Amino acid sequence: MTEEIIIAGFGGQGVLSMGKILAYSGLMQGQEIAWMPSYGPEMRGGTSNVTVIISDERVSSPILTQYDTVIVLNQQSMDKFESTVKPGGTLIFDPNGITKMPTRKDINIFKIEAAQLASDMGNQKVFNMIVLGAFLKVRPIVDNKYVEEGLRHSLPERAHKLIPLNMEAIEKGKNEVVKM
């Protein structure tokens, strides 16, 4: 199994940390992983993206042009990455701020209203964990117990009391993701 994923959105949406938690979860499950952020001037207040690769085998290129799963969290990322989903692959998006819906017919498209759900939960910070939950429902490549371990390893000790809240958000994402 090799899953090549890109997560793209605004800087500050928790794109990089979501990728890190996913990567750590894969590591805890005993898999090979790579986490490659976009870095450079475009990150200052602009868009941010991260490639995460989880595999049973040694990971080759961390730079990709096509992905098994694309997760987009703003319109710019939708414009840039919808075309990069492999045929038969998966596109997950939050409709908040999306003005042009995806149009491809050869991929599986899922919607998660993460911004709204986070707001309902009274904590905008769990937004990215709701998105992660949606991903894990659609592509169940990592067991829940490893996700929890992933959280434990990627969050600083002082934030460990928030792990149950994060797991709750992941559950929420799993329950609320909708196939288009």
Q: How far does CA 68 lie from the centroid of its chain?
A: 12
CB hemisphere CA count around 10 (13 angstroms): 11
Rounded Cα–Cα distance for residues 80 and 157 (Å): 36
Rounded Cα–Cα distance for residues 21 and 26 (Å): 9
Rounded Cα–Cα distance for residues 134 and 138 (Å): 6
Look-up of token digits 């992983």: 33
Which of 27, 112, 114, 132 contacts other proteins by CB under 8 A?
Answer: 27
Which of 10, 17, 29, 33 contacts other proteins by CB under 8 A?
Answer: 33
41 binds other proteins (CB under 8 A): yes
137 binds other proteins (CB under 8 A): no
Between 3 and 113, name the residue whose CB sits nearer to other proteins.
3
Q: Which stretch binds other proteins (CB under 8 A): 54-62, 73-81, 95-103, 172-180?
A: 54-62
Which of 6, 15, 18, 23 contacts other proteins by CB under 8 A?
Answer: 23
Q: Which residues bind other proteins (CB under 8 A)?
A: 20, 23-24, 27, 32-37, 39-41, 58-65, 153-154
